[in-house]
Structure 1
Amino acid sequence: MRGALRSVLFLTCGGLLSLTACSEDLPPPTYSGDPFINVGELMQTTVNARAVALQKHDITRFRLTLDHADTGLIGDQQVYYDNLAQLPIEVLRYRVLTDTITLVEGSDDYWAEVVLALKLNGYDAAPVRSRDRFLFTPSEDGRHMLISSTTDYEWEADHPGNVQPWDLGEVQVEERSGVLGVFDDYTEDSADDVLDAMSGGRDDVRAVIGDDNGKPVDGVVVYSLQDPTFLRGLANQTVGDPDRADGLTIAVPVDAGTPSKGAASFRMFLNPRVLDQAPVVLGRLVRHELTHALLGARGRGAPLWLNEGLAEYVSVRPMPPAKRRLPASALSVGATALDLPGEAEFAGPDAEGWYAVSWWVCEYIASAYGEDLLLLLLDRLEGGADQAEALQAVLGITSSQLAQRGVALMTTTYDR
């Protein structure tokens, strides 16, 4: 399952299995003048060794970068090592941010922020850069810096959404036909069902939106985890409460600190509570999220009613019309619709009904103008373009007229 490891970092003395006995070792850290220069170099040597060990699956080298005084650290890092060993890693490298090195008062220990660049082969368009904060402790001979902690709770509280599931606890990874599934002990028994739904769903979604959506990679990563830690890290990054969502599509930025660099990939989250649903229900949810993931950045900035309505429209296409269930609140919400919904409606208590209204607006567009107009409209509204102008140019009607016609078609179809 593992892809080729195309980018390999080497220690200053390549081929060594430890951090010791190297004729070109840096001198011990100094604590006068500008002490952080040598300290930073030693830290970088350590994280370089860590990167090599993770890519080469060399547990001996990996453990030699750690301070063994803390057995809890060793256990947690073994879990991390085992998690990454399951991933198809193409690029993995660390960089110590030397301007963040801080001496712990009354000790020889140092905190420093570290950037990890990690690229999954076939799933990320570019390495994903994330920050962490490590504590480094000098070795007994003072010639090396060892990692003594990878956890700073106060710092992490100020940097939410900075972690992936494999950073948080033990995971099980499965891969099939361009789908990478990340599960835990609670959800692992559903892995086959999820991967089957994902593999089949991709073909169904492509049949509507096409293959060429400007995505440089075709693989899709899906998470399904019982532990809420990862999901809660997405707070304030989603529309509505992520805990209430059955599924989410997550844009993973190349660098969270530099949004202009764009997304490296679009990954999916499936709430474990949906895994016990009938295959037809799970399949519909998977196709909805796959629509977002496979469209990627296409239509970014277009209104929510179109993005979500299109995803709902695509999700039901393989289903017989009689099986396309409508939420119970949809007709009552539709009866109040004077215009197309906005962010407030999608984040409110009647969100489920507004999803349905948006779906049937898209059904109306496809039936009255042709399915191709849905994607044309998505492209015209990308980047926050003026909605009124785009609707007039593409459809020749107002947003209010479009909402009313979509609701009328929904009511005619279901109110029997």
Structure 2
Amino acid sequence: MSTGRADLIRRAVLAVALPALLLPLAGCSDDRPPPTYSGSAYEDVAVLMQRALNQRARAVTSDDLSRFRRTLDRSDHGLVEDQQTYWDNLQQLPIGTFRYRVDTETITPVDGTDDYWAEVVLALELVGYDAAPVRTRDRFRFRVDASGERMLVASTTDFDWETDHPGNAQPWDLQEIEVEERGGVLGIFDDTTIGDADAVILAASNGRYDVRSVVGSGDDPVGDRGVVVYAVQDPTFLRGLAGQTVGDPDRADGLTIAVPVDQRAAGRGTASYRVFLNARILDESPDVLGRLVRHELTHATLGARGRGAPLWLTEGLAEYVSVRPMAPAKRRLPASALSIGTTATDLPGDAEFASADAEAWYAVSWWVCEYVATSYGPDVLLLLLDRLAGGAAQEGVLGEVLGLTGPQLAQRGVALMETTYGS
């Protein structure tokens, strides 16, 4: 005899209600009474879903693969294989908090079956790297097991839902990863980039100290933690992160990603700042790799400090910091920077950084910051960052702090660049 949805609901109600009826017989037991539901059938189904997810979470935190597999519909060999990869990925991560919650408002029956879809919220904390557990959402399909008394995870993939809800996936959700951790750096690699792990970890570990020697660690507990560095060939997980990155995901060699505590609740703040390195940069020399890593680590270390400041300052400062450990002769300037600099009539804005000449405008911004540091002292760069945060009026701040206008500052930065690199 088949077990239908109605039978499942009847059993769920009995499973919840009977212990409640027997509660007076328990005397002085310290056990908490189980929840009771008298509402819709979905509430009863949600209890079974949550039990399955609780078992799944306990399996991860207790390193119990057998328990993890028991939460799956093991008749689907593709699901089992994919979830084995996910398990292997998680076992490499320094996981602290790991828990699920069913969003009961999203439970939806699958027509013609006894299955249900539901959104689940995962809270996952990387110990030493996240200031708080990161909450992401996914949509799971649940299926009644043969006994009719339990629910199993039948799918963790709903392509349509994922297209409509981007930004929830991490590399360990999507592909097989290789993890290396040392020196305050958690490196996430794949089978094509793991050979570069030592170079990336060394650049990031040294870079953390180089950056802090210039900008400090600040008072932000997020920026003071270790850093997660992604170096994977497939950047699929970046889809939907445009609003969380410092830089353009489609063009950049490197990005800094602000990972929110909860993407749907901006007020909860940022859990961590992580760095993405495009795999193509791994073929470059250690000097080039180190410079890029220090640039991104400057953004990660500063965190929310200076949020809303103009790009010429945030990107120019990151470039300024990135070259500090390098001998002046090794501080490469893009070939087009000098010619673009001659056209500068003001400090570059969003349009210049989005143009085909963006690399040259980065260089112009860098040399504007070099001029400020040389003429007024490096600390004034951070003073400007603080004063210009939140979209403050640029001309007023520049006049008060430097006694210059934007066009004058741009011209002096370009002049210093030309003096340094011109023939």
Residue identity matched to 1:406: G
Instruction: Please say which structure displays the higher CA radius of gyration.
Output: 2
Q: Does the alignment pair 1:169 with 2:175?
A: yes
After superposing on structure 2, the runs of 4+ consecutive aligned residues of structure 1 that deviate more than 6 Å are: none
| One-letter amino acid of the counterpart of residue 108, structure 2 | T
Of 46, 58, 79, which aligns to 1:40?
46
Of 71, 76, 85 in structure 2, the residue corresponding to residue 79 of structure 1 is 85
**Structure 2 residue identity aligned to 1:145:** M
Q: Aligned partners of 2:398, 2:181: CA distance in 1, in Å?
A: 42
Q: Could you say which residue in structure 2 is the equivalent of 1:115?
A: 121
Give aligned-pair identity as a percent.
67
Distance in 2 separating the partners of 1:260 and 1:269: 25
Q: Which residue of 1 aligns with 2:141?
A: 135
Q: Which residue of 2 is the match for residue 17 of structure 1?
A: none
Deviations 1:94-145 (A, max 9, x none): 1000000000111110000000011110100011010000000011111111
Q: Is the 8 A contact 2:143 2:154 kept in 1?
A: yes
Distance 1:389 1:321, change over 3 A: same
Q: Which runs of 5+ in 2 are unaligned?
A: 1-13, 19-37
Q: Secondary structure at the match of 1:383?
A: helix
Distance 1:209 1:237, change over 3 A: closer
Q: 1:179 to 1:238 in 2, by over 3 A?
A: closer
Give the aligned length. 390
Alignment match, 2:216:
210
Flag the structure with higher helix content. 2
2:181 and 2:49 mapped to 1: Cα distance?
34
Question: What per-residue deviation string (whole Å, max 9, x for no partner) do you get for residues 205-256 of structure 1?
Answer: 1110013242344200000000131233434654664132110000001111
Give, in angstroms, the shift of residue 360 of structure 1: 0.4
Matches within 5 A, 1:12-27: 26=16
- Name the residue aligned to 2:406: 399
- The alignment status of 1:300 with 2:300, answered yes or no, reads no
Cα pair 1:215 1:294 within 8 Å, conserved: no
Question: What amino acid is the match of 1:189?
Answer: G
Q: Does 1:386 align with 2:393?
A: yes
3-state SS of paired residue (1:242): coil
**Counterpart position of 1:281:** 288
For structure 1, the 5+ residue unaligned runs are 1-23
181-190 or 254-263, which deviates more:
254-263
- Name the CA shift for 1:240/1:375 in 2 (closer, same or farther; >3 Å): closer
- The 1:252/1:288 distance shift into structure 2, 3 A limit, reads same
Measured in 1, the distance between the counterparts of 2:17 and 2:39 equals: 15
User: Residues 251-285 of structure 1: CA distance to partner in whole angstroms, max 9, x if unpaired?
Assistant: 00111111122210000001111111111111111
1:1-400 to structure 2, matched below 5 A, reads 26=16, 34-216=40-222, 217-235=224-242, 237-238=244-245, 241-400=248-407
Preserved CA contact (<8 Å) 1:182 1:224: yes
Secondary structure of 1:297's match?
A: coil
* 1:322-359 deviation line (CA, Å, top 9, x unaligned): 11110011111111111111111111111001100100
TM-score of the aligned structures, taking structure 2 as reference length:
0.89
User: Match of 1:243, SS?
Assistant: coil
